[in-house]
């Protein structure tokens, strides 16, 4: 096949060089964007007087037909082309003859692939945002269904303070909401059209770049042709946002794995999202959560890989940049698959209230309530902390829980303690007192659920 660049070469590429350099298999995914970019370019060429109305109509009709046929006729075919741009041009020339050779007037593969990639990133972010909303709704429903459950809160994976289970789940919704915002920020910076930048210096032809941007649905045009063809920040930002989102997903997976262990027994995950053992018939393994936790490293790897690819490149386009899309494809495809799976998995999770209630009797979970009680009675906090530590030590030595210690025993530790000490030693009352905005009190949890329902 004739190359787009072959005129000054006496010999074609060696087979091994073709195998190394051709990107057609990866580029197939760009076909709808590449064809649409060409459609917009035809309109700009006609407006600039470079194509007649008849020529523009013929090219537009051929491109529309190619767009309709490509998935059926070419996606599964072994194509001989170097990349998607040369493929589309070849197919157009086969249909339109010499007229098809006019299509590349005033543009380069450099500004064309940059435009294709921006269109793809915008679409992928929109798809991911829709899936993220669905996943967050499934988390919100899990929180609502268990809104009355008091749950052990941890720091350092040690029992810390009682919380509402719903409050714990809502914490993840906040994290994933920030992920949505980061992806939308990346989309904003992808929303500028590079077409018209040509190879790197701009085009010699009077192309209406604002027309091109409007035709392709961009918010505006890039302002520097050299930056336009060399910029892959919008992919880096997307990969960064996805890596952070997967870190949050991995944190959630770790907790689901921990909670579902029979040793803990807080939750049960549905059979359709767990697997068994080939040798131990009693096992019910949280494999989906483990797999997602395992895949998280790839997302950071994709970001670091593209970051390192770009960091040493001089302006403007370099062929290294051909390697950007595989990083992007794997990350967006995997993340969408994870969201699909976990949106379906969340409704299968059930809570074991008996195991949760039993856990609340361990680790002196209301100890901080005693310290705060003493502060309210006028004891300086540092002294209150010390006194409470002594009470905990006493309880450990006696094998007692804090609510099993009598008032008279408490009074051995401080004269400030009265009979109302018993009022602070239940988990229900402990969570109810955390009624500041953002706290775990049932009233605050209900308010946050209402806010998030409106947001989602």
Which residues belong to the active site?
156, 277
Residues 304 and 239: their CA atoms lie apart, in Å, by 9
Among residues 118, 105, 43, which one has the least CA distance to residue 324? 118
**Secondary structure of residue 48 in the 3-state scheme:** coil
Q: How far apart are CA 158 and CA 180, in angstroms?
A: 31
Close Cβ partners of 207 (under 8 Å, ≥ 6 residues apart): 44, 45, 47, 48, 106, 195, 196
Distance CA 280, CA 243 (A): 35
List the one residue out of 448, 264, 258, 251 whose CA is nearest residue 342. Answer: 251
Contacts of 360 (CB under 8 A, 6+ apart): 150, 152, 162, 427
Contact 257, 286 (CB under 8 A): yes
CA 181 to each of CA 184, 206, 207: distance values in angstroms, whole numbers, following the listed order: 5, 38, 34
- Residues 172 and 5 sit within 8 Å (Cβ to Cβ): no
Instruction: Please report how the helices 53-73 and 31-47 are oriented relative to each other, as an axis angle in degrees rounded to 10.
Output: 180
109 Cβ contact list (under 8 Å, min separation 6):
4, 83, 85
Contact by Cβ (8 Å): 339, 132:
yes
Residue 351 — φ and ψ, nearest 5°? Answer: -100, 145
Handedness of CA 296, 297, 298, 299 (dihedral sign): positive
């Amino acid at each position: 096949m004739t190359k787009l660049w072959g005129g000054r070469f006496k010999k074609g590429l060696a087979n091994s060089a073709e195998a190394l350099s051709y990107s057609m298999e990866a580029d197939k995914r760009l076909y709808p964007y590449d064809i649409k970019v060409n459609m917009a370019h035809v309109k700009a060429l006609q407006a600039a007087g470079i194509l007649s109305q008849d020529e523009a109509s013929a090219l537009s009709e051929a491109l529309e037909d190619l767009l309709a046929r490509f998935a059926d006729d070419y996606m599964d075919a072994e194509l001989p082309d170097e990349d998607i741009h040369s493929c589309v041009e070849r197919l157009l020339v086969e249909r339109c003859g010499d007229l098809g050779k006019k299509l590349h007037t005033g543009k380069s593969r450099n500004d064309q692939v940059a435009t294709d990639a921006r269109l793809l990133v915008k679409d992928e972010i929109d798809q991911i945002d829709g899936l993220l909303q669905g996943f967050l709704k499934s988390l919100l429903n899990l929180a609502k269904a268990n809104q009355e459950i008091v749950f052990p809160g941890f720091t350092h994976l040690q029992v810390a303070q009682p919380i509402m289970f719903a409050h714990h789940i809502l914490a993840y919704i906040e994290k994933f909401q920030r992920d949505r915002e980061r992806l939308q920020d990346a989309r904003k910076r992808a929303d500028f059209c590079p077409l018209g930048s040509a190879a790197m210096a701009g085009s010699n032809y009077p192309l209406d770049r604002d027309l091109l941007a409007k035709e392709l649905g961009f918010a505006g045009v890039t302002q520097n042709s050299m930056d336009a063809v060399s910029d892959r920040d919008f992919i880096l930002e997307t990969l960064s946002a996805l890596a952070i989102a997967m870190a949050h997903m991995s944190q959630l997976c770790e907790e689901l794995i921990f909670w579902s262990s029979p040793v803990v027994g807080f939750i049960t995950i549905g059979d359709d999202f767990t697997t068994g053992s080939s040798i131990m018939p009693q096992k019910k393994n949280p494999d989906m959560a483990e797999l997602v936790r395992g895949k998280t490293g790839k997302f950071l790897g994709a970001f670091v890989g593209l970051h390192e690819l770009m960091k040493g490149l001089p302006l403007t386009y370099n062929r290294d940049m051909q390697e950007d899309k595989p990083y992007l494809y794997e990350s967006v495809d995997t993340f969408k698959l994870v969201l699909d799976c976990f949106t379906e998995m969340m409704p299968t999770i059930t809570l074991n209230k008996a195991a949760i209630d039993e856990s609340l009797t361990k680790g002196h979970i209301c100890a901080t309530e005693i310290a705060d009680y003493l502060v309210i009675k006028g004891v300086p906090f540092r002294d209150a902390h010390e006194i409470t530590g002594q009470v905990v030590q006493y309880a450990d030595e006696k094998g007692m829980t804090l609510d099993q210690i009598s008032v008279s025993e408490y009074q051995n530790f401080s004269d400030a303690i009265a009979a109302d000490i018993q009022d602070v030693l239940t988990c229900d009352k402990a969570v109810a007192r955390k009624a500041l905005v953002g706290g775990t009190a049932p009233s605050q949890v209900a308010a946050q659920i209402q806010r998030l329902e409106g947001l989602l």
